[in-house]
Chains A and B, each alone.
Chain A
Amino acid sequence: MTAQPLPRPGDRGLEVIEGRAQTRPRLRPWLLFAVGVIIAFFGLIVSRISLDRSAFVLDDLDEKIAAAESQHWDLRLEVARLQSPDRIAAAAAEMGLVFPESRTVLVAPPVLDEALEPEYRWAQLKALLSAQP
């Protein structure tokens, strides 16, 4: 086996430049980072505003619910007042309604058992319908 020398750089047409290396600044990542930060910042602000707005909307809704509940009870109260027998009796008296002086008790005859049967009721209904002109 025989040793061979390494190929020399000069042999490929490349040469070493002495002094500080001239590197091109890599701006893009920084720019992207800055834009990202700005977007995140504004995003944060927007989300905060949105949340605040939601809080105001919720607060507004709470007030509306409270007002509606209050109105609900007011209306129930109004119904109870209007249905008060005292008021109805007074209104009836104003309209000239009076209790009857004499009353007749009518006792309805007992209902026949067969009247409860569907066939009987159908027969009644058919008879009624056939009697129609």
Chain B
Amino acid sequence: MSVVQGTDQGEVIETDVVIIGAGPVGLFAVFELGLLDIKAHLIDILDKPGGQCAELYPEKPIYDIPALPEVSGQGLTDRLLEQIKPFDPAFHFNERVDRLKRLEDGRYELETDAGTIFRAKVVVIAAGGGSFTPKRPPLKDIEKFEGKSVFYTVRRMEEFRDRDVLIVGGGDSALDWVLSLQPIAKSMTLMHRRDDFRAAPHSVQQMRALVGAEKMRLVIGQVSELKGNDGLLASATVKTKTGEETVVCDRLLPFFGLTMKLGPVADWGLNLHENLVPVDTEKFETSEGGIFAIGDINTYPGKLKLILSGFHEAALMARKAHSYIHPDKKLLFQYTTSSSSLQKKLGVRD
């Protein structure tokens, strides 16, 4: 698997196809495109391939993948990665495509939140339920504090230096940031709803040692209200088993996992229907020629949100994509079982 780590700012990657989303359908699209001599780059907001299969249910069995009576989310991902290996796709993880525009030469230019720029003849949106984004606790007025006092990720540790930091959560993100920020914060409080943590035991031990040495506080409870003015947080009201308590804080990091949001796809000028992208059922092309949508993110009469439907959509999409990328080449229909040219691409030995 070729993983491309953060490219230089402003560097432009030129390729045939950019696939947005490295879930099962995005991965299989690499295969179908590869058979037609089309090279792809994949971009995903997660730090790994597999999409929902890898993020939400890596160990849960799936029973409706043809010819695999039972396979786990991670198992399916691993098999797809093995299947597309001959085509050596380039993966860009932890990046979200924010902008998409058509260039004068008919190609598309995409820019990610990390500043990577892609130019491609074809764009395939295989974004599933949308991009995974941190969950926002339903606290009154929390959005007024976001970006100033409330953060869902740590982009700059300096933002937390000499601050009264409150971190909420019981998983690895919460515990890791407690341990990283405690030395530079003015004060550190970790809050969790129960005295059990999902985080790695050694992080929990380290945290408890800091609490024992009175270098930080651990509060068992749940935030019920945020107080402050002009986006600057002053304190959080906490419901505990015995009553209410006020935690003084001017920085809050809530870690409540991820949820799926359509995100920037909505801003690309495509026709949308109830947060899904309508496509035709011959080519799975959107209202913009050269932009396709496959898998859970698309909609058409009779659509079923099944992985196997996405695989079918990928195969038909690839044929139309071929006409944009190799307009001068005639497309033959061939079987992998009998075609020596397809087998050569797949690296099959004679």
Q: Do A and B come from one complex?
A: no
Give chain B's interface residues, CB within 8 Å of chain A: none
